Structure 1
């Protein structure tokens, strides 16, 4: 990926991925009546797609993982935290008696 990211852009990237996956996770949980489906989708569909998209063929696993920078890992963590908190928000609303969720 090798994108030069400024120190100001990094928290914005984190926040955007967090809000994006929180919102998607919340809506999917509400529509599908599940709790952890968006987390599974993020882990088993989004992350492998991102890794495959930028994978260099002929390189080892460690070489490919070293290719990603800290900014890439921080944005991935932001999305994962958003998906997890979306599930927790739905779970909390259901425990408080909101039946539409």
Structure 2
């Protein structure tokens, strides 16, 4: 059990750093502040919800939502990384730094 918690923490930090880096680079190149965060929400969250969804047990009470586990913490870490990258670019631009 301890090994799973360590792996979960490392995966969450890794996804945070990856999305922060990707978001930072996209923000510099595209000169948009919140594009990576919005793209992450629109694309990856929809895929993360849709992929494990069991269509055979679908009913109006949405019992499938109860099947999600703690392994979605890396997704939450990634979304936080995307928002932090947008916030960082915004602060840097307000302080006068020019990126590309």
Once residues 79 and 32 of structure 2 are traced to their aligned partners in structure 1, the CA distance between those partners, rounded to angstroms, is 17
Partner of 1:63: 63
Once residues 99 and 6 of structure 2 are traced to their aligned partners in structure 1, the CA distance between those partners, rounded to angstroms, is 39
Aligned residues: 96
Q: How does 1:84-95 map to 2 (within 5 A)?
A: 84-95=83-94
Q: How does 1:14-93 map to 2 (within 5 A)?
A: 14-58=12-56, 59-60=58-59, 62-72=62-72, 74-93=73-92
Once residues 62 and 16 of structure 2 are traced to their aligned partners in structure 1, the CA distance between those partners, rounded to angstroms, is 27
Once residues 75 and 92 of structure 2 are traced to their aligned partners in structure 1, the CA distance between those partners, rounded to angstroms, is 26
Give, in angstroms, the shift of residue 50 of structure 1: 1.8
Structure 2 length normalisation: TM-score? 0.86
Structure 1 length normalisation: TM-score? 0.86
Equivalent position SS for 1:97: coil
Q: Which one has the bigger helix percentage?
A: 2
Q: Which protein shows a greater Rg?
A: 2
**Structure 2, unaligned stretches of length 5 or more?**
none
